[in-house]
Structure 1
Amino acid sequence: MRVRAAIFDLYETLITEFSDGKRIYRRQQDDPERLGLSQDEFKREWRTRQERRMNGSFPTFHAVIRDILEQRSLSYPHDHVEQLYRARVEEKRLPFESIRPDILEMLGLLKKRGIKLGLISNCTEEEIIHFSRSPLADCFDDVIFSYEVGMAKPQKEIYLMACQRLGVAPEASIFVGDGGSDELRGARDAGLRPYHAYWFNTYLESDFRKLHAPLELRDILGS
């Protein structure tokens, strides 16, 4: 069946938070301590809420912090939480400012071929504030942010929702992602054809076909 839609992951597929193996932005290391938690304690609490952050159970960054502090019987310092929020928004701005030209070229070529473009990102509100101001925003026919729809990859339903909103069958769609959140298996189980984006994140392995450069996708779909 001819491919009619290409659906992409966002982080570490179209944008990256890393350069030379290191994060491109680091927040002040003593921030969690001002909340009354050590770095390790804060990271542990943050990670245990991963799924609920992605599926919108916590609608905002502030709600996550409030829950962490309430569970620890700690007070909620409004000004400092707001500082943490602004720092996180700034951290998430930088990846949108340096999008690789070959990624934009690849998306443009697919669109010229009449292939509909979709995006599914497991994310929270503060992580994608700058998406709408980036060159990526105009590339897509539809965008799904997990926290807005109450589900996240690898749930089958989120891929089916993306296909439905694009007006294409899963069997006529491909999914391209770096493999985080078990997203490639999820795409396959939903009936899409998965491709492993292997140009930013080369630490995750999979049994799915690897793409070592974005423009390889153009060649595959053109063959």
Structure 2
Amino acid sequence: MIKGVIFDMYETLVTHYSGYPVYFSEAMARDSYVDADAFKAIWQGSKKARSIGRLSFEKVISEILISNNKFSHDVANKIMYKRKMFNEFTCKNVNKSVLHMLETIKSKDIKLGLISNCFSDEVDCIECSPVYSFFDDVRLSYLERVCKPEKDIFMRCLGSLGLEANECMYVSDGDCKELEAASVIGLRTIQATWFCKNNILCEDYGNRFIQVNDPMKIVFYVDQWKGTV
């Protein structure tokens, strides 16, 4: 019997591709006057450290600028400001169908959890998102010092919810090998594909995981696995 649903954040509850100009490494490289490959070498190389709280966004940007002899406070502040605006828009611009799904599941006395891999510059934006208040437990990798697909972050969420793995669903777009990890732990897994459009290439898992292209279909599986359908 299902008693809880744990969600991924990005490309599951919100999408980076909702109309606001994306502000990823190539755009930041242009604003920093650093060669894109040189920028990405440090940016990508620091991903794990940024995800588990060992490096802040500001520290990595400063390192990139300094190592490429491009540092100035004006440039660093410009990048941090534009990244903040992008993150805020991403987290606050929530699809109505996603909100309706969360409201409906919550009304069924189902516990809700959120696990997100994130960087220092994303934490405050996630906490200010309209989806945040729905969750009974939230695990953000930057604060937890551990990230998906590691088992520990899933177990912390389950423990706080007071649920066993087989009592819970995990819903994600499938990045970071997290669906495989959740499945191994014993959660029922669903791949959310409703944001898989031109800008996002969702991994094709074939028949390994249920694929759902409409948020409200998650409610159907909650009812089915809860035993009410």
Deviation of the 1:16 alpha carbon: 0.5
Alignment match of 1:65 (pick from 61, 64, 75): 61
- What's the CA shift string for 1:23-44, capped at 9, x where partnerless? 6314597753564621222123
Structure 2: how far apart are the matches of 1:197 and 1:112?
21
Structure 2 residue aligned with 1:96: 91
The AA in structure 2 aligned to 1:10 is: M
Percent identity (aligned): 30
SS in 1 for 2:79: helix
Alignment match of 1:138 (pick from 122, 133, 142): 133
Ranges in structure 1 where 5+ consecutive residues have no aligned partner? none
Contact kept, 8 Å, 2:190 with 2:210, in 1: the verdict is yes
Structure 2 residue aligned with 1:37: 34
Structure 2 residue aligned with 1:50: 47
Structure 2 residue aligned with 1:221: 222
Structure 1: how far apart are the matches of 2:149 and 2:196?
18
Structure 2: how far apart are the matches of 1:160 and 1:174?
13
- What's the CA shift string for 1:97-128, capped at 9, x where partnerless? 32111111111111111110000000012123
Q: Is 1:175 the counterpart of 2:163 in the alignment?
A: no
Structure 1: how far apart are the matches of 2:171 and 2:193?
10
Deviation of the 1:222 alpha carbon: 1.0
Structure 1: how far apart are the matches of 2:150 and 2:77?
32
Structure 1 residue aligned with 2:143: 148
Q: TM-score, normalised by structure 2?
A: 0.86
Deviation of the 1:57 alpha carbon: 1.4
Contact kept, 8 Å, 2:123 with 2:142, in 1: the verdict is no
**Once superposed, what is the RMSD of the aligned Cα atoms?**
2.1
Q: TM-score, normalised by structure 1?
A: 0.88
Contact kept, 8 Å, 1:92 with 1:128, in 2: the verdict is no
Structure 1: how far apart are the matches of 2:133 and 2:143?
19
Structure 2: how far apart are the matches of 1:176 and 1:30?
30
SS in 1 for 2:159: helix
Contact kept, 8 Å, 2:12 with 2:172, in 1: the verdict is yes
Structure 2: how far apart are the matches of 1:210 and 1:30?
32
Deviation of the 1:47 alpha carbon: 1.1
Contact kept, 8 Å, 1:4 with 1:173, in 2: the verdict is yes
The AA in structure 2 aligned to 1:192 is: L
Q: Is 1:77 the counterpart of 2:78 in the alignment?
A: no
Contact kept, 8 Å, 1:171 with 1:192, in 2: the verdict is yes
Structure 2: how far apart are the matches of 1:153 and 1:69?
29
Structure 2: how far apart are the matches of 1:106 and 1:26?
26
Alignment match of 1:161 (pick from 156, 171, 174): 156
Ranges in structure 2 where 5+ consecutive residues have no aligned partner? 225-229
